[in-house]
């Protein structure tokens, strides 16, 4: 093992530490955990048991990854946290392990920028290339799609979903599903404010795709059509566009309902 472990850290003999890992002072790495090659724990980081962290992550002081969930029904079952690679995880973030009734695992993908104080609760499924700003909070069983942007101090209800490339403004309260590609904001009564045009352009989405999503949003929420009628019209006119097809599928699969325009 070619790792740089500070003598004032405590690393379990049952932990698997990859090549070129740096563990700074006052860190704790518990048993049955794995830290992938090139990951850096700067200082005061706690990695709980049954936690897997991928390669080349940069984890800042006082982050706590893989401790038991905040669920009164948890009875000590073996559950896990899996974090991917190349994530930036800033100060005081908390990612919790899953619950037996929720599938037993919490997952966070790759290339995410997770800012100070973010909380990811048990059984969440968080994708890749996501930005979560300071103190954003995911309750249990939340799904976050790839490329989403979750504003600071936002709160997301249990079992809610955030679609791919969704943009949530700061302080948003999401008690229902957040539409992909759209801007959503609001504290007590969040609303969808249409396509995140600037954000999608920055990510390289074509003008054709952006215009199709704009048209879909207008049909779904701007023409006062019944939901089924609006969905059929969008599918007929624009269903050949993959992003529109995903938007329609996201709406169809919603269990909590969607935040509308």
Does residue 102 share a domain with residue 226?
no
Give CA–CA dist 65/165, Å, rounded.
Answer: 25
Structurally, how many domains does the chain consist of? 2
Among 193, 208, 238, where does a domain finish? 193
In a domain, 166, yes or no: yes
Tens of pLDDT along the chain (261 residues) come to: 699 999 999 999 999 999 999 999 999 999 999 999 999 999 999 999 999 999 999 999 999 999 999 999 999 999 999 999 999 999 999 999 999 999 999 999 999 999 999 999 999 999 999 999 999 999 999 999 999 999 999 999 999 999 999 999 999 999 999 999 999 999 888 999 999 999 999 999 999 999 999 999 999 999 999 999 999 999 999 999 999 999 999 999 999 999 997
Residues 66, 41, single domain; the answer is: yes
- Exactly one of 123, 145, 152, 155 is catalytic; name it: 123
Annotated catalytic residue: which of 84, 140, 147, 169?
140
In this structure, is residue 31 part of a structural domain? yes
Q: Tokens in use for 125?
A: 């499924």
In the residue annotation, 123 being an active-site residue is answered as yes
- Locate 153 and state its tokens: 């101090």
CA-wise closest residue to 163 among 200, 115, 122: 200
pTM: 0.96
Domain range spanning residue 233?
200-252
Q: What is the DSSP letter of 178?
A: B
Let me know whether 14 and 138 are in one domain. yes
Which of the residues 44, 122, 165, 217 is marked catalytic?
Answer: 122
| 257 is known as an active-site residue | no
The residues, any chain, with a CB within 8 Å of residue 24's CB and separated by 6 or more, are 6, 9, 40, 41, 42, 43, 44, 45
Q: Is residue 222 located within the same domain as residue 179?
A: no
Instruction: Decide if 71 is catalytic.
Output: no
Claim to verify: residue 135 and residue 19 sit in the same structural domain: yes
> Looking at 178, 193, 208, which one is the last position of a domain?
193
In a domain? residue 259: no
Domain presence at residue 261: no
**CA-based end-to-end distance of the chain:** 54
3-state SS, residue 11: strand
- Looking at the fold, whether 125 and 54 belong to one and the same domain comes out as yes
Q: What CATH number has the domain bearing residue 208? A: 1.20.1180.10
């Amino acid at each position: 093992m070619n790792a740089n472990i500070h003598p004032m850290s405590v690393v379990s003999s049952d932990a698997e530490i990859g090549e070129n890992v740096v563990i700074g002072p006052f860190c704790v790495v518990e048993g049955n955990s794995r830290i992938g090659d090139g990951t850096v724990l700067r200082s005061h980081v706690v990695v709980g048991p049954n936690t897997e962290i991928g390669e080349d992550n940069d984890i800042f002081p006082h982050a706590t990854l893989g401790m038991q969930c905040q669920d009164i029904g948890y009875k000590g079952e073996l559950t896990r946290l899996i974090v991917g690679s190349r994530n930036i995880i800033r100060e005081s973030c908390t990612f919790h392990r899953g619950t037996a009734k929720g599938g037993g695992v919490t997952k966070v993908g790759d290339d995410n920028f997770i800012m100070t104080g973010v909380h990811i609760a048990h059984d969440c499924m968080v994708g890749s290339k996501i930005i979560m700003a300071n103190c954003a909070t995911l309750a249990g069983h939340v799904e976050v799609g790839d490329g989403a942007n979750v504003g600071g101090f936002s709160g997301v209800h249990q079992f809610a979903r955030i679609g791919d490339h969704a943009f949530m403004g700061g302080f948003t309260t999401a008690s229902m599903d957040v539409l992909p590609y759209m801007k959503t904001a609001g504290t007590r009564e969040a609303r969808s404010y249409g396509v995140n045009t600037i954000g999608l352009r920055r990510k390289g989405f074509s003008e054709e795709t952006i215009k199709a999503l704009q048209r879909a949003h207008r049909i779904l929420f701007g023409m006062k059509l019944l939901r089924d009628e609006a969905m059929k019209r969008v599918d007929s006119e624009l269903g050949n566009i993959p992003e529109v097809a995903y938007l329609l599928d996201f709406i169809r699969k919603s269990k909590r309902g969607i935040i509308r325009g």
